[in-house]
Amino acid sequence: MKLDEKVWRSFQISKVFRENTNKINALDYSSSGELLITSSDDDSIVIYDCEEGKSTRTLLSRKYGVSLIRYTHAQNTVLHASTKIDDTVRYLSLHDNKYLRYFKGHQQRVVSLCMSPIDDTFISGAMDRSIRLWDLRSPNCAGLMHVNGRPVAAFDPEGLIFGAGIDAEYLKLYDLRSFDRGPFSTFKIPSERGTELSTISFSPDGKNILVSTTNGVLRVVDAFNGQIIQTFTGIITERSERGLHLGCCFSPDSNYVLAGIFGII
């Protein structure tokens, strides 16, 4: 299907799922696109079959809580952040609902979690003002960066560089192989007082970066020179201000931006 404005306008809700009793805080697709997984503030993980259009399984994480659910490169394992006991990132086998590994180090809530598109590396950022690099095969942190504010981070489509958002003002790009030398590019992002960066993501073609802020402003940034290509506003509503947060991404062809409010689906 070729995506154009007419196609987008023809989309409509065809089914509503009500498995959750509290807000959904994250969702992610498997690499094949066949499965969708969600994490919720009600401590549940729900798996959906995208072809059949139905939920297939619900797992509970009553002890640790669950947020920022992310598929690894296998359809039967995921990463997620914790909301209870501590701020460990946990590696979960969906097959038998058992944890394979714990990634300890963050001392405050994890607010950013991203898998590398090419290997078992992943990156996390937390309110302890740190960004950590990890490998699924080891519980030890492979790299640590201290930042000056709320960190968000994401890999580019080739898995060679990652972007890190610092406060609401700066977007910095690092070479994964030499990140300890500092960023090779730093872009200043227009910001409003009292706001912070919420998410960042690269377009599938790697040319642009989508940046969202805690007040619901989206900006498309040129990944090579930092120029602001487009700014989107008007998404925040009274409902979202009561605690629901914004989710956003590029379309597969990199030509469109999708945004919505996380809640009960």
Q: In this predicted model, what pLDDT tens digit does every residue of 148-184 receive, in sequence order?
A: 877 889 999 999 999 998 766 889 999 988 888 888 9
First vs last Cα of the chain: how many Å apart?
A: 25
The pLDDT assigned to 240 comes to 45
User: What's the pLDDT score for residue 79?
Assistant: 96
| pLDDT, position 238 | 52
pLDDT at position 235: 67
pLDDT at 265: 41
pLDDT of residue 214: 77
At residue 242, the pLDDT reads: 43
Domains and CATH numbers, the chain: 147-265 (2.130.10.10)
How do strand 161-166 and strand 151-155 relate by DSSP bridges? antiparallel
Cross-strand pairs, 220 = 210, 230
Residues of the chain with pLDDT under 50: 239-244, 264-265
Q: How many residues can be counted in the chain?
A: 265
| Structure-token pair, residue 234 | 């008007």
pLDDT of residue 207: 95
Q: Residue 52: CB partners within 8 Å, gap ≥ 6?
A: none
- Burial-class residue 60 by CB neighbours within 10 Å (0-12, 13-18, 19+): exposed
Hey, what's the torsion of the CAs at 48, 49, 53, 58, to 10 degrees? -30
Evaluate whether 33 touches 50 at the Cβ level (below 8 Å). Answer: yes
State residue 146's pLDDT score: 86
